[in-house]
Amino acid sequence: MKITYIESSRIFKIDTLQNSYCIGITDEERFLTHVYYGSSVSDDDLTYLLRTDENPFAPSKNARDRGSFLDCCPMEYPGNGVGDYRESAVSVEDSNGNSAVQFYYTGHRIMEGKKKLEGLPATFGEEDKSATLEIDLEDPVLQLQVTLSYCIFEDSDAIMRSARLRNASDAPLYLTKVMSLSLDMDQKDFSLLTLHGSWARERQMDYRTIGYGRQSVSSVRGESSHQEHPFIGLVSESATQESGSVYGIHFVYSGNFLAQVEKNQFDSLRVSMGIHPENFRYRLMPGETFQTPEAVMVYSENGLGGMSRIFHDLYRNHLIRSPYKDRKRPILINNWEATYFDFDTDKLIAIAKQAKEDGIEMLVMDDGWFGHRNDDNTSLGDWKVNEEKLRGGLGHLVDEVNRIGLKFGIWFEPEMISPDSDLYRAHPEWAIAVPGRIPCRMRNQYVLDLSRQDVRDYVYESVAVILRSTNIAYVKWDMNRQLSDLGSAFLDRENQGELCHRYMLGVYELQERLVTEFPQLLLENCSGGGARFDPGMLYYSPQIWCSDDTDAIERLSIQEGTALLFPLSTMGAHVSDCPNHTVGRSTPFETRGNVALAGTFGYELDITRIPEADRAQIPGQVALYHKYNDLVRSGDYYRIASYRENHYYDCYGVISKDKTEALITCVQVMGRPNVHSRRICVPGLDPKKRYRIEGTDQILHGDTLMHAGLQMKAMWGDFQSELIHLIAE
């Protein structure tokens, strides 16, 4: 880990464990330029990579064609409307209505440690094990100042970037676009990798050819969304899981985003990531600052798997703060798919008693416990216990569940308000809406205006008073609809374009208050399943509900796309009943359990009514969780085969950091006739160690298992699975 500034060449050099990132300052006009990002290099003077010697349009040689220079110069944080026609990093509306902006270098600082981003989630590290480069830029006409931050940790190959803008003029400025990151580089043979989806099929991996022009993924839904994900990957043509060049860029933000790659006339690429400029207009008064969210850059020359493991370790060590991050999570049973809204105290206690017998450790009461909510049309905002359902009150139920020997968890949807609620009747102006327009309801609910402090205070106290009243160990925080009708009765005309960002800051404030007052609370975020499964949420909760689709086969591709970036310990994964409530498929109970082990692990079913043959397997699955979870939670993840690609079977492994243990999960989706046994090569082992295949007498060297592989007998039937445990002798 090292950050240096080489005065003679005017180069900044950021060195992580295995990579280098270089930034230059041009001689004449002090443009900040991108020089290099990739595997570690020893030389400090890389100015030759800027091609200024071969560019006849450099201002020092040909000022009359300045635009030709700006149109191809690799800018580190490009301006707008001054001759660089590629995607800008910033667009500003000044008092004259002009949008032009151009930044010049004014200074820099190199320091130990990493500053906190006020009001925003961000990575963190110890003072003496992290370092930061801050580069100051300014537009002298607008008197708009920008500080670009580049942060690194001594144990990681990731680089964290963000920007802080300050209005140093004496008049308001309006930010209409502010990216957290811009990156110019040559196009080699990269394909674009993104994650797309919809409700119940989130984060599906998608590759596309990078053509000329702009290609992007984005969300303007007020959340990171089911449909797209705030990630962009550049994957070389020769890349595999364990070799080849891969760049990955991820956004630590949970609201509207834009992630884009642009290929220009010179076959150069410009990657941009930040808050989506649509519906964004932020007034910056004199002396005020605006802080962008953080973007994480990762480069791996060890393929997609290498990139994944860098992200996993970064998020485990430098983003998740919960005391649960290094602990087993309690095995929970959630009553949603068991009962939906049709439950009472007796039903929940019956589930708890049977769950305790089978080794489950927590009961979670989902939607339907408050107001007069017997379906999803009412009562959001009225967080008062429905004592017709919960006779004796919530405290009585929690005490009974605790007496049985289980912890208790509860579901909230704090950001929402039902039109049929006491809260809406008292405060219709608290809902986000555009006056005079027919409101767009989704799930027959509106969104509360969390840009308002009075609304945030009401929401927080509504949740906190319940948590203070009794012994609640877990909260599932849900959000079941996107933002629309973007209007706030609180914000004035000049600030309406700030609503979506201020809303997201409000969500972050609420969750920060929650984990501060209740530091031992296990918080799980959710948004209609996986619509807000992003790094921003991980800063507040160590796990996120991966998808409302709990079908084991659908979960293979959902969890593969999620594990591309996120540690397995963050993925909310449950065993549910069959036929599955989302897709109608029936899969063996064993396979449902094996797939859910690659996550937080729990149950989403009526344990008092499932077939006895299924229920009898639960104690064994619980034992497997306790046996393997330390490994799954902390080990290195390796993707061995993908059902998404081969349409036949799925296989992945987790290897302990010290290489003494491995767990391989193989799921045969489609049975085939007349096939041989399957050979599985296991990456990531110590080639010199000897490993025993648990349950057999076979012992093989690591290099044999890595290159010749395991011999796995053919499975009979569809949806079969097997766990293989390797232990170093």
How much of the chain is in helix, strand and coil states, percent to nearest 5? 25, 30, 45
Of 15, 367, 548, 551, the catalytic one is 548
The phi and psi torsions of 375 (rounded to 5 degrees) equal: -155, -175
CA distance linking residue 461 with residue 385, whole number of Å: 15
CA distance linking residue 339 with residue 159, whole number of Å: 46
SS3 92: strand
Place of tokens 């043509």: 237
CA distance linking residue 203 with residue 195, whole number of Å: 5
Nearest-CA neighbor of 264 among 34, 87, 7?
87
Residue type (1 letter), 705 = L
Of 478, 549, 577, 650, the catalytic one is 478
Contacts of range 455-463, beta carbons closer than 8 Å, 24 or more positions apart: 455/430, 455/506, 456/506, 456/509, 456/510, 458/423, 458/430, 459/414, 459/415, 459/510, 460/414, 460/510, 460/513, 460/514, 462/381, 462/383, 462/414, 463/383, 463/412, 463/414, 463/510, 463/514
Place of tokens 């397997």: 617
The phi and psi torsions of 64 (rounded to 5 degrees) equal: -70, -15
Q: Are 294 and 257 in contact (CB under 8 A)?
A: no
Task: For Cα atoms 500, 198, 263, give the angle at the middle one, nearest 5 degrees.
Answer: 75
> How many C-beta atoms surround the C-beta of residue 59 within 10 A?
18
Extended strands (E) in 366-521: 407-412, 416-417, 446-447, 474-477
CA distance linking residue 222 with residue 503, whole number of Å: 8
SS3 337: helix
Q: What's the alpha-carbon Rg for the chain, to the nearest Å?
A: 27
548 catalytically annotated: yes
CA distance linking residue 5 with residue 479, whole number of Å: 46
CA distance linking residue 536 with residue 422, whole number of Å: 32
Structure tokens at 694: 């648990």
Instruction: Describe the crossing of helices 499-517 and 453-469 by its angle, rounded to 10 degrees.
Output: 30
SS3 709: coil
Structure tokens at 696: 């057999």
Three-state helix/strand/coil letters over 494-523: HHHHHHHHHHHHHHHHHHHHHHHHCCCCEE
Q: Are 204 and 197 in contact (CB under 8 A)?
A: yes
CA distance linking residue 628 with residue 442, whole number of Å: 41
Structure tokens at 63: 């000022």
Query: Which residues, listed in sequence order, are joined to residue 186 by a DSSP beta bridge?
Result: 268
* C-alpha to C-alpha distances, 260 to 181, 192, 518, 628, nearest whole angstrom: 11, 10, 38, 39
Residue type (1 letter), 333 = I
Residue type (1 letter), 403 = R
Cβ neighbors of 540 (< 8 A, separation 6 or more) are: 121, 321, 508, 511, 512, 514, 515, 523, 525
SS3 442: strand
Structure tokens at 407: 């912890």
CA distance linking residue 272 with residue 104, whole number of Å: 19
Q: Are 131 and 71 in contact (CB under 8 A)?
A: no
Give the residue numbers marked as catalytic.
478, 548
